[in-house]
Amino acid sequence: MRRQARKGGGRQLELTIEAIGTQGDGIGFDDGRPVFVPQTVAGDRLLVRLEAEKGGGFRGEALELLQEGPGRAEPPCPHYGPCGGCALQHLDETHYRAWKEALLPEALGRQGLPAEGLLAEGLRPTVFVPPGTRRRATFALRRQGARLELGFHRRRSHELVDLQACLLLTPALFALTVPLRRLLAELLPAGLRGDAVVLEAENGFDLLLVTPEPPDLAAREALAAFAEAEKVVRLSWAPDLKSEPEPVIERAGPLLTFGRTPVVPPPGGFVQPSREGEAALTAAVLEALPEGVGRVADLFAGCGSFTFALAERAQVTAVEGDAAALAALWTAARRGGLAGPVMVEQRDLVRQPLLAGELSVVEALVFDPPRQGAREQAAEIAASRVPTVIAVSCSPASFARDARLLLEGGYRLDWIQPVDQFPWAAHLELVARFSR
């Protein structure tokens, strides 16, 4: 490989991209050390500048594309590149799907679990959720003089990309950013930074404003007028994303229907990012549930994404550590006449997992942990005798680690259904069924 002279603070070299890594960056090698270069495809030959160390390798800045590899496409979004929301719009559809479908087998392989021969019924084709379906977003805010910037952070930066377009969001959700930007430009002081968490519910928008100071009386009056005009059914405020939100305006509870049960999620609470993705995951969970099961545990239940669909077939104990999410679930269960079929328990399953003996009363179990997975809980499940375990995951890497624990505990991996509801991103969700 021909090396170039040092220039601009970093060593330059010619690099050939050999693969796309699990985070969406192209990977080449310099003396055996990986160099990660964003927005590249396998087969690209580039002049790059080494920027910084990254996990035993380097990040590389592409200076010039010398030879183009196969599978490159024109990114459809004008913000692609600076915006950190999408990593792979430069791939054509065929190469993007092939890369996405390889994520799970590669993660299993890193745990010594080859996909071929491991699954009794196979790795199913990925369900691809189209762009333009994301119903929830957290927008960063920054007041610059008389202008308000609203958008997503730049890649590896706290700087903002002020959105003029977004192909991921539902049209209605993106349309709301126009009047919201105009309103906040009038209300927020110069130099302020904050966030706006928006959910497009079934009956209107749920908006959580995150700013250092609460809105004063004049701001509340302006927010009330905005909510009426823009179909915002609930508006809340919090000083940061970790604090409990304070209600500002509530014209109605924002509704999401899980199974046949309407639920009002807490302000800023986690819900699946798209209706289509949620439907695909729920369908796979219900398919994995054996007929005639009497008692089911729904671990990391949130505000009931799977609980209420499961409750139409069995008695369900929903276990969740977040008090606000569990309160929303329990309120919906009581209002829907499901206080018998649905029971709840608040418990931090990362720090205090349900023990194998406690799981002996259920015939099937669903667990849907956060991105880091559920190592401790998976170990207890592996030691239990629950006949059917249904794993839901948003991380192939943590799923593969937890799956290995279950397999070492004597479970068989029947099948996996991948679901891609994060177009052009390095995320992949899945449902897997394990059985004894």
The model's pLDDT over 318-360, given as tens digits with 9 standing for 90+, comes to 999 999 999 999 999 999 999 999 999 999 999 999 999 999 9
The topology under which CATH files domain 97-129+274-435 is Rossmann fold (3.40.50)
Closest listed residue to residue 399, CA positions, set 92, 106, 197: 106
In angstroms, rounded to a whole number, what is the distance separating the alpha carbons of residues 61 and 42? 16
Q: Do 320 and 302 contact (CB within 8 A), yes or no?
A: yes
- 3-class DSSP state of 307: helix
Output DSSP code: residue 380: H
Please determine whether the domains at 12-67 and 136-255 fall in the same fold group of CATH. yes
Tens digit of each residue's pLDDT, the chain (436 residues): 333 444 445 789 999 999 999 999 999 999 899 999 999 999 999 999 998 776 778 999 999 999 999 999 999 999 999 998 899 999 999 999 999 999 999 999 999 998 888 888 889 999 999 999 999 999 999 998 888 999 999 887 888 999 999 999 999 999 999 999 999 999 999 889 999 999 999 999 999 999 999 999 999 999 999 999 999 999 999 999 999 999 999 999 999 999 999 999 999 999 999 999 999 999 999 999 999 999 999 999 999 999 999 999 999 999 999 999 999 999 999 999 999 999 999 999 999 999 999 999 999 999 999 999 999 999 999 999 999 999 999 999 999 999 999 999 999 999 999 999 999 999 999 999 999 9
CA atoms within a 13 Å half-sphere pointing along the CA-CB vector of 411 = 30
φ, ψ dihedrals at 270, nearest 5° = -75, 130
* CATH, domain range 12-67: 2.40.50.140
Is the four-CA dihedral 324, 328, 329, 330 of positive or negative sign? Answer: positive
Q: What angle do CA 149, 154, 159 make, to 5 degrees?
A: 50
Q: Which residues are catalytic?
A: 394
CATH for 136-255?
A: 2.40.50.1070
Each domain of the chain, given as residue ranges in start order, spans 12-67, 97-129+274-435, 136-255
User: What are the tokens at 221?
Assistant: 């009056």
Q: How far apart are alpha carbons 162 and 311 in whole angstroms?
A: 43
Give dist(CA 270, CA 253) in Å, integer.
16
Whats the size of the chain, residue-wise? 436
